[in-house]
Chain A
Amino acid sequence: MFINLHMKKSLIISTSTDLVRIAPEKIICITSDGNYSNLIQTDNQTRLITYQLGQIEKMISTQLGSEGKCFIRIGKSLIINRSYIYYINIPNQKLILSDAEKFIHTVSASKEALRQLKELIEKEANL
């Protein structure tokens, strides 16, 4: 169990002055904030990352490999952890990310993007 915990990949976001190391399942979503990004954590903390969203997406892909597929890029401004997709409302363009226990985080996306997200989940669930 100990070994397994340490074998689990973490996302490492390093700058010239600091470094963030976080397990993928601790990330609810990452939102774009101009040239920076905000990393929303399951402990309800938000950390400003001095990278653009696309750069972080590339880090996820590079560092996490197939595990990175638990993240979904939605439009230009959002990366979500699909594990926490709780509620999708297309007409209201509302997406609620939650573990239904400790945190609940609401984001917005385009109707078309949400519709595709809904289809993706349905498809993966063989609905």
Chain B
Amino acid sequence: MINQNKDIRDDQIRIVGDKNPTTSHKMKWIPIAIVCLLFIVVALLIIENTRTNVANENNYSSAFEPQAKPTPVLPDSVPLFNIPSDTTNVGYIERIDTCINDIQLRLFIPHHAEMSLYIGRMKKDDPSVIFVGQAADVRADNGEIVGAFVHKGKPISWGKSKKGYCASINGKVYVGVAESTPLFEMATENEGYFFRQYALVDNGKLVENNPKGKTIRRAICQMQSSVFMVESLTRESFHDFAQALVDLGVNNAIYLVGSTAYGWSVDQNGITHEHGEDIWRNNPSGCPKNVSYIVWKRK
């Protein structure tokens, strides 16, 4: 019986005998308003859904463009940077060919080796050497090394015109991009090695460089805890080569002398593979005295 009082509100009236109280004008509008609101919501949802479909269609259209992030083409049987150590512990360079953005790359991954620098024409008489690649640039006017250079703790050159750096100190290799780095001093204090080159990748981001034209490009890269060298097997611009390295996933990369710069690598079977052209083979005196190389030697 108490509920009989609750079936009517103070703003309602009811003729006694009728079951339902009279609905006010305001109340009459509420269902209409709700229906209108629902209609508007449904209409908005339909419009939004249509827009989303159109946007998706546009995305699908653009997906046909070659903008998708490329997947490195690697041999199925060879994991890139998780290669188990062999029992012999003999240093070697693993060569892996891959393709990024239609750019063919060759990766040189050192195993059981440590990096140093060498100045002067590199000879092949040291059996411990498993990789050689030209490192810093040499000025054409005075033959001096471009950028800071430390050789076994001895500063050879100073300069910060190139932001990329590579250092090998106490068996650890650093690749990075910075105008100033304490690694130069560390290298001098610890009989380490340090040189500068064009920066290509800085913390996973492409670094643009001024030099134009296409040629064979080379780089030394740091990817997570691994350091390796890369060579383009086709002539590429700085930009495309750097982009390929970014897409490969490297964290930092700096340039190594490209084009016909000479070097070689020794694989697991002890076979030497040359890259570039040994243009001073028949004319050793023509080699600049300050030509420099990164050298990976067996530990």
* CB atoms of B11 and A68 under 8 A apart: no
Q: Of A1-9, A15-23, A39-47, A48-56, which binds chain B?
A: A48-56
B residues near A33, Cβ cutoff 8 Å: none
A84, CB-defined interface residue at 8 Å: no
Contact of B11 among A53, A65, A69, A112 (CB under 8 A): A112
Q: A61-B16, A68-B16 are in contact. Are A76 and B5 (CB under 8 A)?
A: yes
Chain B residue nearest to A70 in the complex (CB): B16
Q: Which of A53-100 contact B (CB under 8 A)?
A: 53-55, 57-58, 60-61, 65-66, 68-69, 71-77, 79
Q: Which of B1-28 contact A (CB under 8 A)?
A: 1-5, 7-18, 21-22, 24, 26
Chain A residue nearest to B22 in the complex (CB): A116
Interface size on A, residues (CB 8 A): 30
Chain A residue nearest to B7 in the complex (CB): A54
Kindly state the separation between the CA atoms of A109 and B13 in the bound complex, as whole angstroms.
10
* CB atoms of A54 and B17 under 8 A apart: no
Chain B residue nearest to A54 in the complex (CB): B4
Closest CB in chain A relative to B201 CB, distance in Å:
74
B residues near A120, Cβ cutoff 8 Å: 13, 15, 22
Interface size on B, residues (CB 8 A): 21
* CB atoms of B17 and A61 under 8 A apart: yes
A residues near B10, Cβ cutoff 8 Å: 75-77, 109-110, 113
Contact of A54 among B1, B15, B26 (CB under 8 A): B1
Contact of B2 among A52, A60, A65, A77 (CB under 8 A): A52
* CB atoms of A58 and B4 under 8 A apart: yes
A residues near B15, Cβ cutoff 8 Å: 69, 71-73, 120
Chain A residue nearest to B6 in the complex (CB): A76
Kindly state the separation between the CA atoms of A72 and B24 in the bound complex, as whole angstroms.
15
B residues near A113, Cβ cutoff 8 Å: 10-13
Q: A69-B16, A116-B22, A120-B22 are in contact. Are A75 and B9 (CB under 8 A)?
A: yes
Kindly state the separation between the CA atoms of A115 and B13 in the bound complex, as whole angstroms.
10
Q: Given contact pairs A61-B16, A68-B17, A73-B13, enumerate 10 new A-B contacts (beta carbons under 8 Å).
A: A52-B5, A54-B4, A55-B4, A57-B16, A72-B14, A75-B11, A75-B12, A112-B12, A113-B12, A116-B12
Q: Which residues of B contact A (CB under 8 A)?
A: 1-5, 7-18, 21-22, 24, 26
Q: Which residues of A contact B (CB under 8 A)?
A: 32, 52-55, 57-58, 60-61, 65-66, 68-69, 71-77, 79, 109-113, 115-117, 120
What would 10 A/B residue contacts be, using CB atoms closer than 8 Å? Answer: A52-B5, A54-B4, A55-B4, A60-B17, A68-B16, A72-B14, A75-B10, A112-B11, A117-B13, A120-B22
